[in-house]
Structure 1
Amino acid sequence: MRIVLAAGLFTIGIELPKNYMWKHAKSLLAMVVPTMAAGWLVVGGILKLLFPTLTYVSCLVIAACLTPTDPIICGAIVGGRFAVKHVPVNLRRILSAESAANDGLAYPFLSISIYLTVESSKRVAFGKWFLVGWLYQVILGVTLGAVVGLLFSKFLQLSKRKGYIDRESYVAQYLAMSFFTIGVAKTIGSDDLLAAFAAGSAMSWDGHFNEQTEGEVFASVIDLVLNCSCFIYIGTPDIPA
């Protein structure tokens, strides 16, 4: 399931316009951080009312899993003929970017809840949250994804100038780069979902990749196939032998 999510997040990042994350950083920050924090606390309170035997911190652990916006479900809103006709393009882009960013940024909310549960000292819990939840998971994941995306973008441009690759080679990177990025991120233990989104955003930072793949529908087809395969696998009941 994480492979499908990472591939979807990478596709969202790489299909954003040139310098999109930098130009709309304030809007995304306002949409993601306070909205997620408020939703996390509210959902935790609702769970506490529904399950009074649980502590509020335990409810926050569950709430951290329910807070992020699903980018796959968001794709049903921002994609398709209905969305193209009725939803403005700037709104579709900001919704896609927000759903991708908050899916990766859910880890700090989960980690602080867990550390407050298992650690006897709040100082130790917040210290581990900052070092592991933010620096190692989020910051390292974003940095790793951005560096991989930028380097690979430069390699692609150099290979294009030398005549080593053609248009089809660019299209193939949707899967290759997403799998490579999440593989490296999982190996070192950082946030693979956020790394995949950062890699996609970095690869399209100068607009070169989007120019080479303009008009291609391969990414949408692969995303649809992966999503359908995943949900069919999850939804299919076990058949007794």
Structure 2
Amino acid sequence: MSPFPPLIGEPSLAGQPEWLDPISVLFLLLGLFFILFGLASHLVRGKFFIPSSVVATLFGILLGPKGLGLLASPATDSGGWSDGSENEEAREFLRWGARLILGIQVLAAGILLPTRYLAHRKNLVTLGTLLFPVMVTSSLISGLFAYLLIPGIGWYESLVIGACLGPTDPVLAGSVIKGHFADRHVEKSMRDVLLCESGANDGLGTPILLLALSLLVSTSSDPPPSAPTTSLQLLANFLTSILLYNTVLSLVAGALIGFAVRLLLIQSRRRGWIDEDSMLVFSLATSFAIIGSMTLLDTNAFLACFVAGVVMSWDDEVENVLHTKVRGSFQFDALIDICIFTVLGSVFPFDQWLSSSSPISFGRLVSLATLVLLFRRLPGVLLFSKGLPAVKTWGKTVFLGWFGPMGVGALYYALEADVSSSSLATEIFQVVSFVIFASIFVHGLTIRESPFFLCHCLFF
């Protein structure tokens, strides 16, 4: 018998010859993709201003069940994400992947802010306006569009969808926060506003989602025994479980962890125990530790990561080194972006989107995505523009109202809603994933040509 595999073998379960290992082919294509994209990265990102998230999403679609099928899994075997108990492991894997990516990114956002950025009143007021009235308005507007366009869902279900779509994604926001486009066209103060908001709102978007889920579960026909059912119980649950435990505890824990880490770094550097090359690994390890500990406590890991990052870089001695190392981790950021959006591209449920038997038609999805992209954020920003002292001109206000991409954060919230209310799994993921798909390409490909960006440039 020949030691070499036959050129033609019996088909495997995946429809491939037995000798053709799909995992080997997958890593081969991933390696070739990284090489080719690396060789043309300046051309793609520097000249055409196409973010890596767009390219990686297209690559994920190519590898997914609608393309080569190399990323086909129980979660993607029917042309995208399918519903059913067989997807629990795949969903949990994707949920943890999104959680880790977001934790790393929001910690990095806190570190990259200027020293004592939130100690200035105008920056703190601007962040408070974006996180509370603007994000709440964005969630309500998105929920209203979902309620009007998606058949068969009630107001509480639409609120859950709106809560998933409320926050600005820190990964996709990187296209105007860092890189050649940001350096050339977006001034530093505007980048800091977007960086701070995208880092903080994934954490403070969690209470909105939890409140919407509490309202939904309390009005269901068969609520769990521990679920609040009366108005007084809902109020008590919101104040104690959501505000105090999930939000305030996470904020305090993040501040304490960041303060302790900063002291350890200062003492270690003064004694010459740590080299500067370990700073990036140290920040990654901190984000992993916070995510693990906060998840064990069943509280808000993203808010704790962001606050810890802000406190870690509050001291000039640590801030200079952390800024240099985190800003210099361009290759690592590119690797993260490509990996997560490749996976995301492979799980988009194209069959559900295009199915004629689906209760949510493709036309309704397109209409919803168009309305959400255009009007989810802009009315709130314009309405509360007086509370944005760090945004100095009308053009910047309009640009800020347009640029609020939805990506990994919305995906994570949709998966969290799936865990809490499995009856809505198909509808939530179908709707949220399509809006994410639209946001990746619309915000990624039209940022330079959009009228909102032109307003930003004309009224600079």
TM bin, normalised by shorter chain, reads over 0.9
Separation (CA, whole Å) in 2 of partners of 1:115 and 1:62: 14
Is 1:13 matched up with 2:110?
A: yes
- CA displacement, residues 117-147 of structure 1 (integer Å, 9 cap, x when unaligned): 2223122112111211111111111111111
Kept after mapping to 1: 8 A contact 2:111/2:323? no
Count matched residues: 238
State the superposition RMSD in angstroms.
1.7
Give the aligned residue type for 1:124. Q
Q: Which 5+ residue runs of structure 1 have no aligned equivalent? A: none
How much does 1:223 deviate? 2.2
Corresponding position of 1:153: 262
Corresponding position of 1:43: 142
Corresponding position of 2:339: 229
Flag the structure with higher helix content.
1
Change (3 A) 1:166 1:48: same
Is 1:31 matched up with 2:130?
A: yes
Separation (CA, whole Å) in 2 of partners of 1:127 and 1:219: 44
Is 1:72 matched up with 2:171?
A: yes
Separation (CA, whole Å) in 2 of partners of 1:121 and 1:230: 41
Change (3 A) 1:76 1:130: same
Is 1:174 matched up with 2:271?
A: no
Separation (CA, whole Å) in 2 of partners of 1:224 and 1:199: 23
Kept after mapping to 2: 8 A contact 1:31/1:98? yes
Corresponding position of 1:209: 318
How much does 1:230 deviate? 1.5
Q: Structure 1 stretch 227-236 or stretch 146-155: which is displaced more?
A: 227-236
How much does 1:208 deviate? 2.2
How much does 1:219 deviate? 3.0
Q: Which 5+ residue runs of structure 2 have no aligned equivalent? A: 1-97, 219-228, 348-460
Give the aligned residue type for 1:6. G
How much does 1:210 deviate? 2.2
Kept after mapping to 2: 8 A contact 1:10/1:178? yes
The 5 A counterparts of 1:67-146 are 67-119=166-218, 120-146=229-255
Kept after mapping to 2: 8 A contact 1:18/1:206? yes
Q: Any idea what SS the aligned residue of 2:201 has? A: helix
Q: Structure 1 stretch 27-36 or stretch 165-174: which is displaced more?
A: 165-174
Give the aligned residue type for 2:336. L
Separation (CA, whole Å) in 2 of partners of 1:66 and 1:53: 19
Corresponding position of 1:185: 294
Change (3 A) 1:10 1:219: farther
Q: Any idea what SS the aligned residue of 1:72 has? A: coil
Change (3 A) 1:108 1:12: same
Kept after mapping to 2: 8 A contact 1:141/1:191? yes
- CA displacement, residues 40-70 of structure 1 (integer Å, 9 cap, x when unaligned): 1111111111135322122101110011111
Change (3 A) 1:53 1:171: closer
Corresponding position of 2:329: 219
When normalised by structure 2's length, the TM-score is: 0.50
Q: Structure 1 stretch 47-56 or stretch 27-36: which is displaced more?
A: 47-56
The alignment-based identity, stated in percent, is 32
Q: Any idea what SS the aligned residue of 1:6 has? A: helix
When normalised by structure 1's length, the TM-score is: 0.93
Q: Looking at CA atoms only, which structure, 1 or 2, has the larger radius of gyration?
A: 2
Kept after mapping to 2: 8 A contact 1:17/1:207? no
Q: Any idea what SS the aligned residue of 2:192 has? A: helix
Separation (CA, whole Å) in 2 of partners of 1:34 and 1:230: 30
How much does 1:102 deviate? 1.0
Kept after mapping to 1: 8 A contact 2:112/2:323? no
Separation (CA, whole Å) in 2 of partners of 1:46 and 1:236: 27
Change (3 A) 1:214 1:66: closer
